[in-house]
Amino acid sequence: MRIRTAVATLLAVVCVVAPAAAQTIASEPFASKVAAYGGVVVWSHWNAAASAFQLEAYVHGRDQLLPIKPESVPFDVDLGPDVHHHTVAVYSRCRSPQAVWELGIATKKAALPGGCAIYQYDFGTRREAKLKRIVGSGSFYLPTIWGNAIAYVRIAPGRGPNLYAQPLSPPTITVVHGTTKTKRTLRITAQALPGGYPGGTGPGPVALDLGAAGLALGWQGSDPSGAWGSQISLDTVPSPGSHAAPDQVTLDSESTSVDAPGFLSFPSLQGSLLYYGGFDAGALGAPADGYDRIGTNGSGPRSWAAPHALRSAAVDGGFTYTMYGPYAGIFGSCLPGACTLTATRGAR
């Protein structure tokens, strides 16, 4: 079974929560990343006739397939507000796609997405557009948006994956000279954040969620000794023009092994609270999948049971959206059964 080794575990108070009624939203043969914001939920729907994944949304109680080109792997989609507070989806499109969020323990270096660019879908206009103001060269994936800020994983030529955040439009700052205040427009720059992956095996960053409190991330990989683990961390993202250095705090972590794999992932920031989940593929004992919640300052951790096998989770307002289903050793598949996507009110 998984071995928890973190702040959240040492302080955790296990909640006994009565099961809430769950509404089934969808059933899929393959697992996918689930994202939720502003009453909208998105996931990747498998189109068997086209042998491809389409982005599907549940918008205020109604299903809709988004009118965009499908992909050969599930979308690394995230939802958030744009600078006008409208709900938008961001995701990558790659020449060499990989579903990095579902990569588990690997004895060899993980195959990561290549040739990726970031796209945005606007639910108001129902149109997709490539984001052209992404700074730097390389491959960009796992994007997450919050207002005028976007964060992502970037693989520059000859380097491993690293985390960056940047504004999407030129930021302005107020400069004070005595009693005179003037506004200055800054150029768009990308700021490196802690939590990349310099080497070894494993994918490194597998899930990102940007919010007012910073950038939450799920990370998987091995250390120089070969020991495997995963962690949930929070990066500070200084505002443009600030001289503050970004920082990272690890809020939970666990070690695991090939014989009893499992990991922490699926971060969802809700104000000053961070929700995430734990997947347990251990063959011994009862499954130990779980939901977790902790304050962004490390306070008040709580845990409660999640359905097995947990594939993805997202929290939006008063709802928890969960994808789970049969597990036969392949995280991305629920065959011969189906993955179930549910909405549960009030799971805390």
Peptide bond into 207 cis (omega under 30): no
How many CB atoms neighbour CB 273 within 10 A? 18
Mean pLDDT of the chain: 87
Burial class (CB in 10 A: 0-12, 13-18, 19+), 182: exposed
Q: Residues 115-139: what's their mean pLDDT?
A: 95
Q: How far apart are CA 232 and CA 266, in angstroms?
A: 9
Distances in whole angstroms, Cα of residue 199 to Cα of each of 94, 180, 182, 196: 22, 50, 45, 9
Nearest 10 degrees: Cα torsion 246, 247, 253, 256? 60
- CA atoms of 129 and 174, how far apart (whole Å): 31
For residue 284, pLDDT beyond 60: no
Residue 15: predicted pLDDT = 41
Mean pLDDT, rounded, for 328-341: 93
135 backbone dihedrals φ, ψ, rounded to 5°? -90, 140
CATH of 3-345, one of 2.120.10.30, 2.40.30.10, 1.20.120.530, 3.40.50.920: 2.120.10.30
pLDDT tens column, 27-73: 999 999 999 999 999 999 999 999 999 999 999 888 999 999 999 99
Contact call for residues 10 and 328 (beta carbons, < 8 A): no
Model pLDDT for residues 81-123, shown as the tens digit of each residue: 999 999 999 999 999 999 988 876 666 677 889 999 999 999 9
The domains of the chain are located at 3-345
The pLDDT score that the predictor gives to residue 176 is 76
Token pair of 9, please? Answer: 């575990």
pLDDT per position as a tens digit, 225-247: 777 888 999 999 998 878 888 99
Q: What percent of the chain has pLDDT over 90?
A: 64
